[in-house]
């Protein structure tokens, strides 16, 4: 009977993705382009936020959008109508974007001619949290109708994001959404996270968000 022996491996499972993600960040730094990865559940307002952000910022910044979708081009078409560059990435059933997909998409964009790239990740709060896309910052959207308990169900997503956008604040009135409870839960998981509360529908709070984003883009463009 042959003996069973142990081979020590000690490797990160997603090391290959991390290496590619770092390559992407190096490239972005060289090109002085800021890349933001937006993640959320389906229907929480990723496309609406991107459209609002484009409308506020396209006068001063050159913007490109990478749309991740399982198998449709609906969102990319909306973005193109705003007159900015958009790339559609169909994941073919995959529930997330990873660095290798982003590397392909970025080859289609003229980075030297872009200040800001926004990634619209595939809509779900689980899988995209595990895969570094090579973005400079990660943002997630949570909308009021989804409820204030999401940090309990999807803690990883709240720990990997630099920014939380609470969207659809126009639904707050008459709902049982507890904003204080949400903030307490989120800040326990991630004390450094920045929280913006806004409504893409009414426009309330959108300027505070774009002010912050403009600041981040400016830092990337000039350093």
Partner 1 sequence: MHELSVTESILNIVLKHAKAGNVQKVMGVNLRIGVLSDLENEWVQRYFDYLSKGTVAEGAVLKIERIPATMRCENCGQITTFNLQELEKDWKCLACNGESLTLVSGREYFIKNIEVM
* Binding stretches for partner 1 (CB under 8 A): 2-14, 16-17, 94-96, 98, 126-127, 130-131, 151-152, 154-156, 159-160, 181, 184-185, 188-191
Find out whether 33 and 114 touch, Cβ atoms under 8 Å: yes
Cβ atoms of residues 182 and 151 within 8 Å: yes
What is the widest separation between alpha-carbon atoms in the chain?
74
Indicate the residue among 20 and 213 with the shorter CB distance to partner 1. 20
Least distance (Å) from partner 1 to the CB of residue 185?
4
Q: Between 64 and 128, name the residue whose CB sits nearer to partner 1.
A: 128
Query: For partner 1, which is the closer residue by CB, 69 or 98?
Result: 98
Q: Which two tokens stand for residue 45?
A: 């307002």
CB of 37 to partner 1, least distance (A): 15
| CA dist list (Å): 35 to 93, 97, 150 | 24, 14, 26
Kindly report the backbone phi and psi dihedral angles of residue 128, in degrees, each rounded to the nearest multiple of 5, phi listed first.
Answer: -60, -25
Least CB distance to partner 1 at residue 156 (A) = 4
What is the smallest separation between the CB atom of 181 and partner 1, expressed in angstroms?
Answer: 8
């Amino acid at each position: 009977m042959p003996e069973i022996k142990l081979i020590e491996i000690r490797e990160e499972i997603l090391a290959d993705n991390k290496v590619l993600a770092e390559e992407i960040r190096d490239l972005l730094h060289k090109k002085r382009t800021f890349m933001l990865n937006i993640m959320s559940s389906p229907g929480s307002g990723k496309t609406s936020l991107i459209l609002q952000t484009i409308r506020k910022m396209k006068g001063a910044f050159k913007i490109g959008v990478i749309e991740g979708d399982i198998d449709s081009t609906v969102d990319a078409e909306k973005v193109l109508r705003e007159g900015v560059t958009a790339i559609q990435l169909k994941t073919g059933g995959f529930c997330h974007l990873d660095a290798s997909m982003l590397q392909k998409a970025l080859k289609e964009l003229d980075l030297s001619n872009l200040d800001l790239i926004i990634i619209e990740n595939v809509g779900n709060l689980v899988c995209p949290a595990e895969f570094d896309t090579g973005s400079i910052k990660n943002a997630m959207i949570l909308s009021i109708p989804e409820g204030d308990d999401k940090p309990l169900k999807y803690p990883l997503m709240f720990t990997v994001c630099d920014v939380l956008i609470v969207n659809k604040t126009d639904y707050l009135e008459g709902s049982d959404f507890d904003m204080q409870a949400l903030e307490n839960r989120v800040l326990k998981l991630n004390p450094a996270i920045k929280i913006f509360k806004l409504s893409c529908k009414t426009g309330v709070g959108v300027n505070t968000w774009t002010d912050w984003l403009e600041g981040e883009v400016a830092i990337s463009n000039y350093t």
